[in-house]
Amino acid sequence: MNIKKMSLKIFLLIYFIFLLISFSIDFQPGKLIAYNFFLFLISMLKILPCAFILIGLFEVWVKKERVEKHLGENAGVLGYAWMVLLAGTTVGGLYVAFPVAYSLFKKGAKLNFIFTYIGASAICRVPMIIFESSFMGIKFTLIRLMISIPLVILTSICLGNYLDKSNYKILKGK
C-alpha cells in the first residue's frame, strides 16, 4: 500500500478515536471539533454535488473552440472582464472555483485568465459584495474592488507569463 494512503488512513483513525474519546469523557473542545467538522461536511454536501453537475454540463455543452476564442492565447483584455464576471457569479467560493478553473484550463483557457478567475473568485462574488457593502458601506466596497481587481489581474498576468516562459505543465493525476 502507498505510504500516503496508509498515513491518511492512520490520521483518520486517530481523528475518529479522538472524537469518540471526546464524547465518552465529555471533552468539550473535542466535541466542538466534531460539531464543526459535521457542519462543514453538511455545507460541502449541499454545494459540491450541484457544482460538479454544472461543471460536467459545462464540459459537455461548451465547445473547446469557444473557450479558446474568448480565453485562449489570442484573447485580449476582454478575457479578464469575462473572468471577473464569471467569478462574481460563482457560488460556493474556492471549493467550486478550482474545479471550474481546471475545466477552463482543459478547454484551452490561458493561464493568465485562470489565475484571474481564481483570484476574483476569492474577492468579488456578488453575495460577498452585498454583505460587505451592507456592513462596511458602498464606498468602502467600491474602493476595495477598484484596488483589488486590477491587482489580481496584474498578478495573474505576471504569474501566467512567468509560468508560460518556464514551460509549466499541469501533471495528470492517477
| Model pLDDT for residues 62-79, shown as the tens digit of each residue | 888 888 888 888 888 899
Q: What is the pLDDT of residue 74?
A: 84
- Work out the average pLDDT over 105-117: 92
Does residue 75 sit in the same domain as residue 114? yes
Does residue 41 sit in the same domain as residue 67? no
Structural domain range at position 77 = 62-174
Counted domains in the chain: 2
Scanning 62-136, the segments in alpha helix (DSSP H) are 64-71, 78-89, 94-106, 111-123, 126-136
How many other β-carbons are positioned within 10 Å of the β-carbon of residue 151? Answer: 11
Q: Which three cell numbers stand for residue 35?
A: 460539531
